[in-house]
């Protein structure tokens, strides 16, 4: 009996299920959504439902990603769950559908507005996975998805957003563009090998990092400048500055030559930008700048 015909050990199947949902970014987004909801004044129960909804939606997008890329991954990333034989494409599709339904149900339990935002975010993620990921335009749905996160959480907490929130969304989209560039940089060698025309392959490694640094600097200047007038909020400001520093530390990790370390660039940046974003929102909210 061939290896492919033998039943996969349960522990390996579980590993495949965990990996196919992309646990790091999914969990980070879920935690960020829950914390933003709390900052906006949501009860613990509502924040929990919003966080779980975001987690499930990200699970759906992550599994759809691996489903769509399975043929390319056999060449460029054979270690991923589907080409490694830890999970079938059918199982990945089942995870995607189940997670999507769970995420939308959790959003609907909070309100119709949140459900609409969640559905838009899900479609955006699937467009990224199924249509644009292998093109230089992939950064656009990636950035838009990050921009939707604070809108989803704030609307879920309050049922509306103030006019000034357009600035929050704009800065979040810019942060999403930073992470899209860093994520593409992580995959640049694999994408080059498989013939994928990602934004990092299109720009080249140095220009990708330069664009990342330029956008990151602009975001942090805007964030720090808008917090400058906050009085009596020093702990939050310090936390935001820590997030700024962590984001730059992530970018500096691009100098590490080992390809396995390249993923740390966007992962550390993601944590840093999440800390900065939540702290920034907390400062603006406490200063009364996000009143409806």
pTM over 0.85: yes
∠ at Cα 74 (71, 75), nearest 5°? Answer: 105
Q: Once rounded to an integer, what is the mean pLDDT over residues 94-115?
A: 98
Alpha-carbon gap, residue 87 to 75, rounded angstroms: 17
Q: Which of 117-126, 199-208, 226-235 has the lowest mean pLDDT?
A: 226-235
Q: Once rounded to an integer, what is the mean pLDDT over residues 86-114?
A: 97
What local confidence, expressed as pLDDT, does residue 112 receive?
98
| Highest-scoring range by mean pLDDT, 15-19, 67-71, 92-96, 222-226 | 92-96
Q: Which of 21-35, 103-117, 191-205, 266-280 has the lowest mean pLDDT?
A: 191-205
Alpha-carbon gap, residue 29 to 41, rounded angstroms: 18
What local confidence, expressed as pLDDT, does residue 62 receive?
97
Beta strand segments in 4-70, E: none
Q: Once rounded to an integer, what is the mean pLDDT over residues 29-57?
A: 98
The neighbour count for residue 117, using CB atoms within 10 Å, is 20
What local confidence, expressed as pLDDT, does residue 217 receive?
97
What local confidence, expressed as pLDDT, does residue 59 receive?
98
Q: Is the pLDDT of residue 5 over 50?
A: no
Alpha-carbon gap, residue 89 to 67, rounded angstroms: 6
Q: Does domain 10-134 have CATH number 1.10.357.140?
A: yes
Q: Which residues, at least 6 apart from 85, have a Cβ–Cβ distance to it below 8 Å?
A: 3, 4, 8
What DSSP designation does 132 have?
A: I
Q: Which residues, at least 6 apart from 121, have a Cβ–Cβ distance to it below 8 Å?
A: 57, 145, 148, 149, 152
Q: Once rounded to an integer, what is the mean pLDDT over residues 270-292?
A: 91
Domain 10-134 matches domain 162-292 at the CATH topology level: no
Q: Once rounded to an integer, what is the mean pLDDT over residues 148-173?
A: 96
The pLDDT-based confidence of 76 (bands split at 50, 70, 90) is: confident
What local confidence, expressed as pLDDT, does residue 4 receive?
42
Domain map of the chain by residue range? Answer: 10-134, 162-292
Tell me if 176 sits within 8 A of 224, measured CB to CB: no
Backbone angles phi, psi at 94, to 5 degrees: -65, -45
Q: Does domain 162-292 have CATH number 3.40.140?
A: no
What local confidence, expressed as pLDDT, does residue 1 receive?
33
For residue 146, give the nearest of 274, 249, 269, 20 by alpha carbon.
274
What DSSP designation does 50 have?
A: H
């Amino acid at each position: 009996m061939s290896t492919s015909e033998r039943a996969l050990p349960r522990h390996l199947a579980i590993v495949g299920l965990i990996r196919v949902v992309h646990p790091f970014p999914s969990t980070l987004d879920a935690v960020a959504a829950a914390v933003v909801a709390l900052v906006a004044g949501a009860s613990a129960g509502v924040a929990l439902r919003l966080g779980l909804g975001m987690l499930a939606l990200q699970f759906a997008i992550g599994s759809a990603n691996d489903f769509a890329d399975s043929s390319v991954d056999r060449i460029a990333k054979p270690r991923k769950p589907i080409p490694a034989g830890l999970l079938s494409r059918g199982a990945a599709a089942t995870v995607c559908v189940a997670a999507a339904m769970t995420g939308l149900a959790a959003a609907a339990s909070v309100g119709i507005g949140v459900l609409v935002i969640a559905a838009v975010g899900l479609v955006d993620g699937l467009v990224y996975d199924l249509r644009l990921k292998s093109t230089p335009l992939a950064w656009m749905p990636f950035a838009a998805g990050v921009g939707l996160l604070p809108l989803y959480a704030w609307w879920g907490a309050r049922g509306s957003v103030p006019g000034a929130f357009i600035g929050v969304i704009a800065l979040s989209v810019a942060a999403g563009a930073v992470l899209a560039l860093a994520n593409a940089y992580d995959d640049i060698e694999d994408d080059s090998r498989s013939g994928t025309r990602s934004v990092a392959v299109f720009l080249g490694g140095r220009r990708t990092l330069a664009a990342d640094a330029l956008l990151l600097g602009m975001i942090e200047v805007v964030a720090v400048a808008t917090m400058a007038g906050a009085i009596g909020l020093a702990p939050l400001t310090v936390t935001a500055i820590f997030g700024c520093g962590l984001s730059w530390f992530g970018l500096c990790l691009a100098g590490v030559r080992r390809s396995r370390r390249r993923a740390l660039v966007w992962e550390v940046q993601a944590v840093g930008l999440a800390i900065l974003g939540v702290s920034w929102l907390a400062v603006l909210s406490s200063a009364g700048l996000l009143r409806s």
